[in-house]
Structure 1
């Protein structure tokens, strides 16, 4: 019976990244990190089993995905990779091998531009000879790889996009981390946001004494904001705008996007709209986190408005 390894229901749970030096392994690692993988570079093949054992023991939910780079930099250790993969297969451990390749002349040009030494270049060898030796070493591994990406004509952004297509469980959108947060203009602008939406045009719950001490996370305020004709009309168009621009950000290879929703104090309208915005984007398959920058300030307002209990009379 096979071991229970993270992501065992899909081979994406463990990805072995290998291939020609200079073919884009570093960029590939960045792409996997953006997809939420735990990544290790330049790992000796003999340590893969140890890594899996540690991951299985430490992650009780068994959901962590692993991506490890094993390549010719390990030299003598690299020869163990195929044997290690055979052993994993016999134990029932599911994995996927990604092989990155590029034409020899492109690899030579990249090494000349970087001025780095090829890992298989011995004393007196040229870059081309080192590439030839590496290609011979990797021949059988390339033949058995699950996925081969030739990066000769690919820009870094295009390589990331290709990896997202192959390994993202929720499509390319999983590679874009979206942060939606509310804020109050009176506490300072949202300088770090890519998109800022000002919702001060919506009716303000602040002027209702019963709603003033509450926040957009409380049902009475949320209902006051969300169930008005102005809000319904706005959200319809706001969500439509997001549905147009978000795929464009994904296509351009953007990795992080911050959307700020502001009202006067960052307590009522912006909080409710930020929550609705996050919910909409989640239904579209994006990785979204929602926060409220100035809500802590609202708590002080709420406390200030609460009646102070009268002091107890001392008994005679």
Structure 2
């Protein structure tokens, strides 16, 4: 058993060498729906997990998760901290599996969606990106729908 573990660890790729994490945020409401990314490692649907900030504070309606008042509101919403910590933990586990050679490619793709892709998904995506960058991960983020009009 220990020989098998030693063999497996000897095949480990250098930690984080060449690995990047891509976060894509989006709104489920638009005709495009969820991005078609067959290699997406994780999908977060925040529509029912977190309250929509403008429902609590209408002054946030015209802002996005890139604006500090929205980010703070989302971060302070009940359950947000658990979602963020759980997601970061899952990404770290995926990165460990990547380092062990369990899957190919150099990119872990995470999809985060909410109703319009303006507030919750953008804010949570930005917070996760900030944490991953602080932990030494190469991280990119793409907000597909944050500038589209809300219907």
The interval holding the TM-score normalised by the smaller chain is: 0.7 to 0.9
Q: Which residue of 1 aligns with 2:3?
A: none
Q: Which residue of 1 aligns with 2:87?
A: 238
Q: Which residue of 2 aligns with 1:202?
A: 50
- Tell me, yes or no, if structure 1 residue 276 matches structure 2 residue 124: no
Displacement after TM superposition at 1:205 (Å): 1.0
Please give the secondary structure, in 2, of the residue aligned with 1:244. Answer: helix
The number of equivalent residue pairs is 133
Question: Which of 8, 12, 16 pairs up with 1:173?
Answer: 16
Separation in 2 of the partners of 1:251 and 1:222? 35
TM-score computed with the length of structure 1 as normaliser: 0.39
Displacement after TM superposition at 1:258 (Å): 1.2
Separation in 1 of the partners of 2:84 and 2:26? 18
Please give the secondary structure, in 2, of the residue aligned with 1:295. Answer: coil
Displacement after TM superposition at 1:176 (Å): 0.9
Q: Which residue of 1 aligns with 2:7?
A: none
Please give the secondary structure, in 2, of the residue aligned with 1:224. Answer: helix
Separation in 2 of the partners of 1:221 and 1:238? 20
Displacement after TM superposition at 1:227 (Å): 1.3
Displacement after TM superposition at 1:213 (Å): 1.0
Separation in 2 of the partners of 1:174 and 1:227? 34
Separation in 2 of the partners of 1:256 and 1:243? 13
Q: Which residue of 2 aligns with 1:184?
A: 27
Q: CA RMSD in A?
A: 2.1
Assess, with a 3 A threshold, how the Cα gap between structure 1 residues 257 and 244 changes in structure 2: closer, same or farther.
closer
Displacement after TM superposition at 1:256 (Å): 1.7
Displacement after TM superposition at 1:245 (Å): 2.4
Relative contact order higher in (CA < 8 Å, ≥ 6 apart): 2
8 A Cα contact 1:174 1:285, kept in partner: no
Q: Which one has the bigger helix percentage? A: 1
Q: Which runs of 5+ in 2 are unaligned?
A: 1-10
8 A Cα contact 1:190 1:196, kept in partner: no
Displacement after TM superposition at 1:283 (Å): 2.2
User: Is the radius of gyration larger for structure 1 or structure 2?
Assistant: 1
Question: Which of 226, 238, 260 pairs up with 2:111?
Answer: 260
- Tell me, yes or no, if structure 1 residue 285 matches structure 2 residue 99: no
TM-score computed with the length of structure 2 as normaliser: 0.77
Displacement after TM superposition at 1:210 (Å): 0.8
Please give the secondary structure, in 2, of the residue aligned with 1:254. Answer: coil
Q: Which residue of 2 aligns with 1:56?
A: none
